[in-house]
Each structure stands twice: as structure tokens, then as C-alpha cells.
Amino acid sequence: MNEKLSRDLISELIVKAGEAREFSYSPYSGFKVGAALLTDKDEIYTGCNIENAAYSPGNCAERTAVFKAVSEGKTSFKAIAIIAGKNEITDYTSPCGICRQVLREFVNPKEFYVIMAKSENDYKIMTLEELFPMSFGPENLD
Ligand code: THU
């Protein structure tokens, strides 16, 4: 149990990440990823990974969710759930380095929770600070 997120909210985020994973466009890797991002107002934005025949234009599920939210004026977030795997979900998947940096832009790393899920009842939670220590963010430019 997390002191800031209720069990119900964690479940809802994992279920929504799983639903978004169904939309994964990943014909090249076959690795299907879904993410569900929680705003400070408890709204949820989902995303999936979107690959491309030219490979490098591909986008991760986490960034899809962040960009959807920011493009609708939401720039403050509390948590993200991620669920991923080719067919069966056998591992906890953590966000790639680029996604960690993109999330870092909009959150307090000590208070933002990354929920890495295998299922609704099997997940690990870490703060962004734990996953991405000594990060560079907007305040470094002040
Ligand atoms: N991917 C994500 O969407 N999120 C992650 O956290 C890890 C990797 C995607 C990128 C690519 O489409 C596929 O998974 C294999 O790397």
C-alpha cells in the first residue's frame, strides 16, 4: 500500500494501462506497452507505444500519455502505471531514460509514483527520484 495512492486508484490505473496496451502499435518489436497517467486532479490519460517502419520515430506508451495530457492543458501529475509484454506479461517494465526525463519535466520526482505492473495485484511502486536520481529539471535553469 502506498501512503498517497489508494488501492482502488492503483487498480484503476493498472486496468486502464492494460486497456491502452491493447491499442499498442508495435509490429516491429511485438512488445506491447500501455500506460495510464494520473493528473493532480485525478484525471487519467492513457497511452500506448506507437512504432514506425523507419524505427526511430516510434514513441513509448508513457510519452504518448504525457503528450496527450499536456496537449490538453494538464501539466501536473501524481503517478503513472505501466504494463508491458509481448504476449504474456512476465516482467515489471520500467520507463526508458527518455520517458524518465519527459516525466521529470512535469513532476516533483520525490512525490511522483511509477507503478510497474504485471497485473492488478502484482506490481512494484517506485518514486521517479528512485528511478532517476540527480536528474536535471526546469529549476536547474533558474
Ligand atoms: N517501450 C515503451 O513504450 N515503454 C517502455 O517503458 C519501454 C519500451 C516501447 C518502445 C518500443 O515500441 C517497444 O517498447 C520495444 O522497445
Residue 62 Cβ contacting ligand 1 at under 6 Å: yes
Record the cell numbers describing residue 42, joined without a space: 485525478
- Between the CA of 50 and the centroid of ligand 1 the distance, in Å, is 9
Q: Under 8 Å CB-to-CB from 23, ≥6 apart: which residues? A: 34, 48
Exposure of 80 in the CB half-sphere (CA atoms within 13 A): 36
Phi, psi of 39, deg, nearest 5: -85, 170
pLDDT at position 106 over 90? yes
Residue range 79-104, pLDDT digits in tens: 999 999 999 999 999 999 999 999 99
The answer to whether 102 and 137 have CB atoms below 8 angstroms apart is no
Annotated catalytic residues are: 62
Residue 64 Cβ contacting ligand 1 at under 6 Å: no
Residue 26 Cβ contacting ligand 1 at under 6 Å: yes
pLDDT at position 6 over 90? yes
Q: What is the DSSP letter of 54?
A: T
Q: What is the pLDDT of residue 103?
A: 98
Residue 61 Cβ contacting ligand 1 at under 6 Å: yes
What does pLDDT average to over the chain? 97
Q: What is the DSSP track for 72-130?
A: TT---EEEEEEEEESSS--S--PPPHHHHHHHHTTS-TTT-EEEEEEETTEEEEEEHHH
> Which residue from 60, 94, 99 has its CB within 8 A of the most atoms of ligand 1, so it is best to mutate?
60
pLDDT at position 2 over 90? no
Residue range 36-47, pLDDT digits in tens: 999 999 999 999
Question: Judging by DSSP bridges, how do beta strands 77-85 and 122-127 pair with one another?
Answer: unpaired
pLDDT band at 1 (very low <50, low <70, confident <90, very high): low
